[in-house]
Structure 1
Amino acid sequence: MLSSAFAVMAAGSAFAGEQYVDESKYALSGYDPVAYFSLEQAPVGQKQPEAIPGKASITADYNGSKWAFSSEENRDKFLADPAKYAPQFDGHCAYGIAQGGKVPGNPNLWRIVDGKLFLNITPNVVGFWEEDIKGHISSAGTKWTTLEGQEASSKSWKSISANDGTYSTTAPKGS
């Protein structure tokens, strides 16, 4: 029980490293981090709704990166409590962190657990993640202490062919 509490606390403070930013030049690939919390989360084993694109005209800086939002209201909520909305492990794949490495997080492969946003890299990895979500969060929380200071992944999640079909729009939107 105590180790579970420590893992959740460790996962809750998973923001000390370098934020994952892809070719979009935005954290979370330009998707709105606050909007996830208003989407209806699919049950384990089912595809999540697509992330909501932010707008290039509504942004904020946090953790050394630019973030995009779909509304000024969402930007203001984020700025009031960024740790509540930013993805865990600086936007890297939570399963990858649990396995001991930093790999990109696909913003359309997400799950909110205990009020925290987690990403994964490919649909196949989501399957592994969902076999033991709490166990992987615990493992990732432990391994994050040694990984957080390493450079962010420089790979693009969109360049992985397994992610074809995981998104239908590019973020952020122009206005």
Structure 2
Amino acid sequence: MIRPAALLFALLLPAHAALAQDWALDGIDPVGYSREGAAVPGRPDLVTMWRGKAWHFASEENRADFEANPKVFAPALGGLCVVALSEGRSEPGNPRYFAVIDQRTYLLRSESARQRLMADPQQILARAKTVWAKMHP
């Protein structure tokens, strides 16, 4: 016999998992990268939908700033790892590894990739942007 509570849990679990998959940046506040210089966790109750994803924010001010101009705060180059992209590979960046360069946020796959970017940011960004332009003509 299936208990009602177990059935309810089984029915809700897939919905919750689907919702979590739609979280942009794993719930990290995109405004926090530039404002705090850190990967700041967003609050589950401060959410805005943009481009099919739920973007979470640490404060109402951050949410309002994002809503006014999301392209300023969303990671550049589609959130791909800028170092991998500069090498011709399309790999997702990890929202916990980032760099803010010229007021744009770039995601990276690891701390070592962040260190590589910071050692030669202009060269790596130039190559990554060239690859990105070929991928998105």
- Does TM, scored on the shorter chain, surpass 0.5? yes
SS in 1 for 2:55: strand
Name the aligned partner's letter for residue 107 of structure 1.
Answer: P
Quote the sequence identity (%): 31
Task: Establish whether residue 34 from structure 1 lines up as the match of residue 31 from structure 2.
Answer: yes
In 2, are the aligned partners of 1:98 and 1:139 still within 8 Å (CA)?
yes
- Measure the CA separation in 2 of the matches of 1:108 and 1:84: 18
Give the alignment partner of residue 119 of structure 2, picking from 108, 111, 131: 131
Structure number with the bigger relative contact order (C-alpha 8 A, sep ≥ 6) is 1
Structure-2-length-normalised TM-score: 0.77
Unaligned runs of 5+ in 2: 1-19
How many angstroms does 1:86 deviate by?
A: 0.6
Contact in 2 for aligned 1:59/1:75 (Cα 8 Å): yes
Equivalent-residue separation in structure 2 for 1:148 and 1:58 (angstroms): 32
Does residue 48 of structure 2 align to residue 60 of structure 1? yes
Q: Separation in 2 of the partners of 1:35 and 1:74?
A: 8
User: How many Å apart are 1:131 and its aligned residue?
Assistant: 2.3
**Partner residue, 1:90:** 78
Offset of 1:28 from its aligned partner? 1.3
Larger radius of gyration: 2
Distance 1:148 1:91 in 2: 14
Give the alignment of 1:12-161 within 5 angstroms.
24-40=21-37, 49=38, 51-148=39-136
Per-residue deviation, 1:148: 4.1
> Following TM superposition, by how much is the alpha carbon of 1:88 offset from its aligned partner in structure 2, in angstroms?
0.7
Unmatched 5+ residue regions in structure 1? 1-22, 41-48, 150-175
Separation (CA, whole Å) in 2 of partners of 1:63 and 1:101:
23
**Paired residue total:** 118
The answer on whether the counterparts of 1:93 and 1:104 sit within 8 Å (CA) in structure 2 is yes
What is the TM-score when the length of structure 1 is the normalising length?
0.62
Structure with the higher strand share, 1 or 2: 2
**Distance across 2 between alignment mates of 1:64 and 1:32:** 16
**Contact in 2 for aligned 1:100/1:147 (Cα 8 Å):** no
SS in 2 for 1:58: strand
- Return the alpha-carbon distance in structure 1 between the equivalents of residues 88 and 52 of structure 2: 23
